[in-house]
């Protein structure tokens, strides 16, 4: 993940107000938009505006305004095709929830107005509901309409006329649809669908529309867009903390752009984001309320490829940002327009060269200071021999190399007990240090200086003399379903009854037996490569359950057929996070690795590990969690299950976490919280997270969790 706080900032655009083009009396006066503008788009040489009285306005480059009455009441959505003089709109001709879709041919006239070639009610399954978003394919053979009830209606065929087209409900869900985008690659058409809580892609080429869930995170209205070929036509989804990029079959990179996102667009290789300073969820402002208020709003222009902020400025109440005539136009609620014009290439290159020389000078000075205590020392990094472990370790070492340019790192790989025993379930061969003992022995003997682990492999109580010195930014912690090739496109719910699903985890099996009682769940051991080979080459399993993080790190995102959301399966303590274990008294190494700490991940994992430790759980009993840090509140959901999932306890607690990650040099506080020494995270925040985990565990214990876990442990030992 790239954090924009580390990105260089430039002024690659010039901002000017749009003024009246008139004579001496009008020249210099701010141009005023018509009142009541609610929706906007641009294309075919005009800015297209819709107002609350049903008018559609066209603003030309010479600032000439013309309009026509498109609806009797109001216009709610506009979509201007870029390659055709076709405009699609949604609006209302009568009170109530009765949205109408109208398609306009702007080159043909009907009584002086554009010709309306098609009109039909926007109602999914005869259930009146609010339209939330609209998208039209540039080849005019697809139109998608998203609704607040979670439906998506797809029109296929000639979208400009009623003949030679068919309309069907493509998608139904529980969450409001917030964004739609068509992606064309060769002859293959995909439709991205994002809701407040998840993201899907549909392959529209072929008889069956194959659906793939890409993620269990979503975004608010107007917070998604499609990039151009310079960024591989990726679907961009902007959440409060991060911006995520997606291909039709997998998630790509993400960027830590904080702040509540209001508007997201793509323009000539740049990502445009309008956001608020304060963090409040755009999902609460989904429909029926205005996502604008009197607060100042920040417009940032990001160059993702070069990792620079190309422009940043503050505006009042932005209505939208439109691209036309080679420039960006920012429309504000007070009726004004501001134009952002990109500077010439030579000016930008000179600014980049100057900044680069300054950065290199500062970096050299910083590295001399950081590496003074470790100079002439080879840093040996321990890891398991498995392919996934090596990939994870390589990623951590690469982060350290980028920060400490003059240090030398050597990777030492070794086999662990868990790697050697491949024919027995993990829960049957002991729960402590299966994948860590040999590595910790090497650390104790000074054969290595640090060890990289999957955090979920580390016990909550470490051997004396060791500590977790860093926890890196967490990957997706959820579990994923990989299907046998014959079941491509299915979900667990759509598998035939009695289908066999493989998993090596008691936690997964217990939850999924409870959620999908029609399926059978069996043990499957081996590393990722081995388990996938067993799935593909035999008919023993219809699907297997694996950690999404591991699949993504291996580059096998395309094998993910379904991401299990928290309603289906809570994840394991520490899942998706990488931990760096060091000798607790090796201050130089501890200081070095502390720069890798990700504050949010650290606090979430402290809460999870405290919950696990207080329950005295482990891999021999089904214990599961889900955590989230949002708006200075840390939420922890924890659960315990019987082996068959028939008995369970689950609850959620939260606590206030007010912190800002301290400077990268760290502090002198070496306090441990459930085996973690996070020197650059304030102790009071770590203590609050640990207390949350203990209190939630105590709550479940008071309700009978000890009995459930005791029975589960006895039954597992007897198997």
Question: Are the C-beta atoms of residues 194 and 183 closer than 8 Å to each other?
Answer: no
Question: Are the C-beta atoms of residues 458 and 468 closer than 8 Å to each other?
Answer: yes
Q: Which of 51, 303, 320, 457 is catalytic?
A: 457
Strand order through the sheet with 113-121: 74-80, 86-92, 99-110, 113-121
Q: Which of 513, 558, 542, 548 is nearest to 528 (CA)?
A: 548
Residue 308 Cα to chain centre, angstroms: 21
Q: Which residues contact 189 (CB under 8 A, 6 or more apart)?
A: 137, 142, 182, 183, 203, 204, 205
Tokens matching residue 574: 């520490």
Hey, which bits of 444-499 come out as E strands? 450-454, 466-471, 479-483
SS (H, E, C) 303-347: ECCCCEEEEEEEEECEEEEEEECCEEEEEECCCCEEEEEECCHHH
| CA dist 75 → 39, 53, 56, 99, 293 (Å) | 7, 7, 8, 9, 21
Give SS3 for 522.
strand
DSSP classification of residue 667: -
Beta-bridge partners for 136: 143
Question: Are the C-beta atoms of residues 53 and 72 closer than 8 Å to each other?
Answer: no
* C-alpha R_g of the chain: 28
**Sign (positive or negative) of CA dihedral 67, 71, 72, 75:** negative
Q: Rounded to the nearest 5 degrees, what angle is found at the Cα of 711, between the Cα atoms of 708 and 713? A: 105
Question: Are the C-beta atoms of residues 522 and 501 closer than 8 Å to each other?
Answer: yes
Tokens matching residue 357: 């020389």
Question: Are the C-beta atoms of residues 90 and 145 closer than 8 Å to each other?
Answer: yes
DSSP classification of residue 366: H
Write phi, then psi, for 308 (nearest 5 degrees). Answer: -135, 155
Alpha carbons 264 and 455: distance in angstroms, whole number: 35
Mark whether 423 is an active-site residue.
no
CB atoms within 10 A of CB 545: 24
Task: State which H helix or E strand residue 362 sits in.
Answer: helix 345-370
Beta-bridge partners for 189: 184
Question: Are the C-beta atoms of residues 190 and 201 closer than 8 Å to each other?
Answer: yes
DSSP classification of residue 123: -
Query: What is the CB-side half-sphere exposure of residue 524 using CA atoms within 13 A?
Result: 26
Q: Which residues contact 302 (CB under 8 A, 6 or more apart)?
A: 4, 7, 255, 257, 270, 271, 272, 273, 308, 309, 310
Which are the catalytic amino acids? 457
């Amino acid at each position: 993940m790239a954090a924009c706080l580390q990105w260089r900032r430039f002024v690659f655009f010039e901002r000017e107000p749009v003024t009246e083009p008139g004579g001496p009396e009008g020249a210099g006066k701010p141009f005023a938009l018509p009142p009541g503008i609610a929706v906007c788009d641009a294309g075919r040489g005009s800015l297209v505006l819709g107002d609350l009285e049903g008018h559609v306005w066209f603003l030309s480059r010479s600032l000439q305004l013309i309009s026509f009455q498109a609806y009797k009441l109001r216009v709610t959505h506009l979509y201007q095709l870029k390659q055709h003089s076709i405009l699609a709109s949604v609006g209302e001709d009568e009170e109530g929830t009765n949205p109408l879709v109208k398609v306009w041919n702007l080159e043909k006239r009907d009584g002086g107005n554009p010709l309306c070639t098609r009109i039909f009610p926007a109602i999914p399954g005869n259930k009146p509901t609010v339209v939330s978003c609209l998208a039209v394919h540039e080849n005019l053979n697809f139109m998608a309409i998203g609704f607040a009830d979670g439906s998506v209606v797809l029109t296929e065929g000639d979208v400009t006329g009623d003949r030679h087209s068919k309309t069907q409900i493509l998608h139904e869900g529980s969450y409001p649809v917030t964004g739609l985008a068509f992606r064309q690659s060769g002859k293959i058409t995909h439709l991205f669908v994002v809701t407040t809580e998840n993201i899907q892609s549909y392959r529209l080429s072929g008889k069956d529309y194959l659906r793939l869930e890409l993620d269990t995170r979503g975004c608010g209205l107007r917070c998604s867009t499609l990039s151009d070929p310079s960024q591989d036509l990726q679907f961009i989804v902007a959440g409060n903390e991060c911006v995520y990029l997606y291909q039709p079959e997998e998630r790509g990179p993400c960027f830590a752009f904080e702040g509540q996102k209001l508007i997201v667009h793509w323009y000539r290789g740049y990502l445009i984001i309008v956001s608020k300073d304060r963090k409040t969820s755009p999902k609460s402002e989904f429909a029926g309320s205005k996502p604008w208020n009197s607060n100042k709003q920040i417009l940032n222009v990001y160059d993702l490829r070069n990792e620079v902020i190309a422009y940043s400025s503050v505006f009042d109440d932005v209505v939208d940002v439109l691209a036309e005539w080679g420039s960006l136009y920012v429309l504000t609620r007070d009726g004004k327009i501001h134009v952002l014009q990109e500077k010439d290439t030579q000016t930008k290159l000179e600014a980049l060269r100057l900044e680069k020389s300054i950065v290199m000078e500062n970096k050299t000075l910083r590295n001399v200071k950081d590496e003074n205590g470790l100079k002439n020392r080879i840093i040996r990094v321990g890891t398991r021999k498995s392919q996934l472990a090596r990939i994870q370790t390589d990623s951590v070492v690469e982060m350290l190399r980028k920060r400490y340019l003059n240090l030398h790192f050597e990777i030492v790989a070794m086999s662990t007990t868990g790697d050697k025993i491949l024919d027995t379930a993990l829960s049957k061969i002991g729960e402590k240090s299966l994948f860590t003992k040999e590595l910790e022995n090497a650390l104790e003997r000074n054969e290595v200086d640090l060890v990289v682990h999957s955090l979920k492999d580390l016990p909550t109580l470490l051997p004396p003399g060791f500590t977790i010195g860093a926890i890196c930014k967490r990957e997706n912690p959820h579990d994923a379903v990989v299907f046998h090739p014959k079941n491509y496109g299915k979900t667990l719910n759509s598998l035939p009854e009695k289908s066999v699903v493989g998993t090596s985890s008691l936690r997964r099996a217990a939850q999924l037996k409870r959620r999908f009682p029609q399926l059978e769940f069996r043990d499957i051991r081996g590393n990722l490569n081995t388990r996938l080979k067993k799935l593909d080459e035999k008919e023993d399993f219809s699907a297997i359950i694996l950690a999404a993080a591991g699949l993504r790190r291996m580059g096998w995102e395309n094998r993910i057929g379904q991401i299990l959301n928290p309603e289906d399966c809570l994840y394991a303590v520490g899942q998706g996070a990488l931990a760096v274990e060091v000798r607790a008294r090796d201050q130089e190494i501890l200081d070095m690795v502390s720069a890798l700490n990700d504050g949010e991940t650290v606090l979430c994992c402290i809460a999870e590990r405290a919950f696990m430790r207080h329950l005295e759980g482990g891999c021999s009993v089904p214990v599961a969690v889900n955590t989230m840090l949002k708006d200075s509140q840390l939420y922890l959901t924890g659960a315990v299950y019987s082996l068959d999932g028939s008995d369970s306890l689950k609850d959620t607690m939260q606590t206030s976490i007010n912190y800002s990650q301290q400077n990268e040099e760290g502090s002198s506080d070496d306090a441990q919280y459930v085996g973690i020494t996070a020197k650059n995270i304030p102790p009071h925040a770590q203590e609050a997270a640990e207390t949350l985990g203990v209190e939630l565990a105590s709550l479940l214990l008071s309700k009978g969790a000890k009995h459930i876990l005791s029975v589960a442990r006895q039954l597992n030992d007897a198997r």
